[in-house]
Chain A
Amino acid sequence: MIPRFTHVLQLMKNVERNLFHMFGYHPPKELALAYVHERKPVATPKKFSIKDIVGDGFLLAVPKFRRTIERKLKRKFGTPEYVWKMLVPKNHIKVCQNCGHHHEKRRLCENCYTKIKKETEEIQAQIKEKLGINPIEHDVVVLYKGETLPDQPKEFWKGKRIIEMKKERPQWFSKNLLEKTTQQPSKSTDVKPTDLA
């Protein structure tokens, strides 16, 4: 209410002053300012350019804003729920029963698996070469070099395709430890020296 009232008052004062001005009631000339007009050349404002500062040099990228401590720590260590960047010990490493290498629990041993994968791919390639694009109507039996078919009744072999590999059976793929191994027993007669110490 009060600001509106003062506003109206101001308006009325303005009207009064203008009216006096129109009818020649000026303030006395002694109160006027003494002013000498002088024409100054107007300087056109120059546009800011980074080249004025840098010149022939170059600028490196620098941070514009301060990184908060929380952000800094997050960048450094990550979040345990999502990406945890600290080194954490793995407690699920087991020793392979076959080769003694280490592997993760509930996962295949890498050393064994690479061997088996290579062998599997070779057998698959051999099967593909043998059977070609014919309808695959027969079960497959894999035989290695120098192996004969196990003793089975003739009905057992009916409708089976025999795939022969052109190499000897790998030692680790043998079904029985008493089978012949690929490694020949050594014939050297060297005897290890004893009672040295």
Chain B
Amino acid sequence: MNQADVSKLVSKLRVKVLPKHRNLPGPKGPEGRIDKLRKTVTGLIKFERIELNYNRADEARQYAERLISEAIRHGDCHKPTMDTADFWLLEKELVHKLFKVLVPRYETSNLSYTRMYNAPRLQYGRTIDKVVLELRGNPFPDLLNNKSNNKLLIQNVLLDAAKNDYRQTKIAEMAKNIGKDIGTKQNTDSKLNEAPEKPNIS
């Protein structure tokens, strides 16, 4: 077989890609779509966390992932990669950031380079869905900030103490009943023997 392995030619994205792209309609047509995506990718690389509409974010995310994976794959001495970075990053100082900051940050990770969260919606009224798009490993506070598994969380400390108390009382109860248990068991055994046999119902 002389066929090349496709997975080795193109870097596989670590995010879900729709079978068909979104058009992001506007007066400028397909050109305008690319312009919008370039602005979004530039903003994402620059600010590391942005909030925007779902469709545009999901579309731009794929391009950002591809750009970073290409940069990791080929490095900064590869002309086509450099051209791609030059095209997608409107502010040219971000090209330096891509190769000097983001590539070392993501080289060893096997997760996606970006994360996307659904932003809270208005309680009433109809709005367009917003999302928060961010690069992994940014210096900002964690959005999920989920500490529910932390042992030192006050609820968990209280729950642990309650569990311990319950266990202690149970053990004490069992210890008390050990002596009585044998006597009661003998009684029940004799009762069982005296009980008449039940008629077999078929």
Contacts and interface: CB of A to CB of B under 8 A. Distances in A.
Contacts, number: 83
Interface range on chain A: under 10, 10 to 19, 20 to 34, or 35 or more? Answer: 35 or more
Interface string A122-158: 0110000000011111111110000000000000000
Interface stretch (A41-49, A111-119, A183-191): A111-119
- Chain B, interface residues (CB within 8 Å), range: 20 to 34
B145 A136 contact: no
Given A137-B96, A139-B101, A123 B118 contact: no
A177 B153 contact: yes
Contacts of B153: 177
B139 interface: yes
A116 B143 contact: yes
A142 B137 CA distance: 12
Contact of B140 (A103, A120, A133, A135): A120
Interface string A166-177: 000010110011
Contacts of A113: 119-120, 132, 143
A59 B152 CA distance: 75
B101 A120 contact: no
Most B CB within 10 A of own CB, among A110, A170, A178 = A110
A108 B93 contact: no
B100 A177 contact: no
Nearest to B101: A139
Contact of B139 (A98, A117, A140): A140
B145 A98 contact: yes
B139 A119 contact: no
28 contacts: A98-B147, A107-B119, A107-B120, A108-B144, A109-B120, A112-B145, A113-B120, A113-B132, A113-B143, A116-B140, A116-B141, A116-B142, A117-B51, A120-B49, A124-B47, A124-B49, A134-B93, A135-B96, A135-B97, A137-B101, A138-B100, A141-B139, A142-B139, A172-B141, A173-B141, A176-B152, A177-B147, A177-B152
Interface of A: 97-98, 103-104, 106-110, 112-113, 116-117, 119-120, 123-124, 133-142, 159, 163, 170, 172-173, 176-178
Given A134-B93, A177-B147, 20 more contacts: A98-B145, A103-B120, A107-B117, A107-B120, A110-B120, A113-B143, A116-B140, A116-B143, A117-B51, A123-B140, A124-B140, A133-B93, A135-B93, A136-B94, A138-B100, A139-B101, A139-B104, A139-B105, A140-B139, A176-B152
Interface of B: 46-47, 49, 51, 93-94, 96-97, 100-101, 104-105, 117-121, 132, 139-148, 150, 152-153
